[in-house]
Structure formats: C-alpha cells, structure tokens
Amino acid sequence: MIEYKLLTGPDNSEFCDRVTEFLNNGWELYGSPIINTEHISQNKINRIVGQAVVRSKSE
C-alpha cells in the first residue's frame, strides 16, 4: 500500500521545514510542487504552495 499526502501552506520557511521533516521520516517527493498566487491588494500577494509526498506502507 502507498500512503499519499498533499502538504499545503504559506510559501515560507515553516512550509519548507515541514516538507524536510517528511523527507527525513521516509517519505519521497511525488510530482512537481504547486503554487497559487492571489493578489490581495496592490502591495500584498498571498502565495500558497503545495507538495505531494508518498511512502510505502506494509499492510
């Protein structure tokens, strides 16, 4: 069985740390990262990123 998770969050160092933690715990990157950009105002942009990870799980 393969476990699948889609990690999402703001584009910041905390998100990168979460992905790194999953990789250090046996998960592997799956596919390309995604980014969604939303222009909130003229001077503010909200970026949400995502990365899928998978790992094999014994049944």
Residue numbers of the domain that contains 42: 2-56
Question: Does residue 10 contact residue 48 with C-beta atoms inside 8 Å?
Answer: yes
Q: What is the pLDDT of residue 42?
A: 85
Q: What is the pLDDT of residue 57?
A: 85
Q: How many CB atoms lie within 10 A of CB 53?
A: 20
Q: How many CA atoms lie within 13 A of 53 on its CB side?
A: 19
Mean predicted confidence (pLDDT) in 1-12: 96
Q: Model pTM? A: 0.84
What does the pLDDT look like over 22-44, one tens digit per residue?
999 999 999 999 999 998 888 89
26: helix, coil or strand? coil
**Structure tokens given for 47:** 């970026």
How many separate domains does the chain show?
Answer: 1
